[in-house]
Amino acid sequence: MKFFVDTAETDQIAELNDLGMVDGVTTNPSLILKSGRDILEVTKEIAEMVEGPVSAEVVALKADEMIAEGRKLAKIADNIAVKVPLTWDGLKACKVLSGEGNMVNVTLCFSANQALLAAKAGATFISPFIGRLDDINLDGMDLIADIRTIYDNYGFDTQILAASIRSVNHAYQAAMIGADVMTAPPAVIKKMAEHPLTDAGLETFMADWAKTGQQIL
């Protein structure tokens, strides 16, 4: 599974990137707002930091304007994936932008039918939102599983990018189902390393080591 980092905070991206934990980055208008940075400036900086796809989202609502914004964002760097919403206009923009050779991430997907349309329109990535479905008492993992089945049935190349990942369980379940990519906040990725038995075992080892009176350095 590929790990995309869901943030526009360059220091957090750099830390994970140094560990080889970054296969790409996703941003959105909310993350740009949180960063306090200019979208073109921070997107360029991120794209220079990582080798993988960097999703930069359009903010227009009409297809023609989405296409114009997408073309401008795509010029920032070769690894930009233009992010468009899963609306009819967004699908139109996806078709044009992907046809021009750009990576396109179709976001805000909440149904398998939407994911099927995005694949038909040439999406590079489809971003089903797990956490937001959980918020309304629907199982977001069911959507990941349904999309996996449909894409496998027909050999679509569109990659399933599990989004709105809020917990380590989300990450684990998405990997088990077969999502190609997950995008998660840095804190969730770091938390994947934690386990109470690891902590307990380390505490025992350290206590026993202290009793030996030895040092390695």
Catalytic residues: 83
Q: Which of 108, 142, 134 is nearest to 123 (CA)?
A: 108
CA pair distance 138, 80, nearest whole angstrom: 32
Task: Give how far the C-alpha of residue 79 lies from the chain's centroid of Cα atoms, to the nearest Å.
Answer: 14
CA pair distance 125, 129, nearest whole angstrom: 13
Q: Which of 139, 94, 145, 149 is nearest to 121 (CA)?
A: 94
- Token duo for residue 1: 């599974």
Q: Enumerate the H helices of 51-111 as residue ranges.
A: 63-74, 88-99
Q: Which of 73, 120, 72 is nearest to 95 (CA)?
A: 120
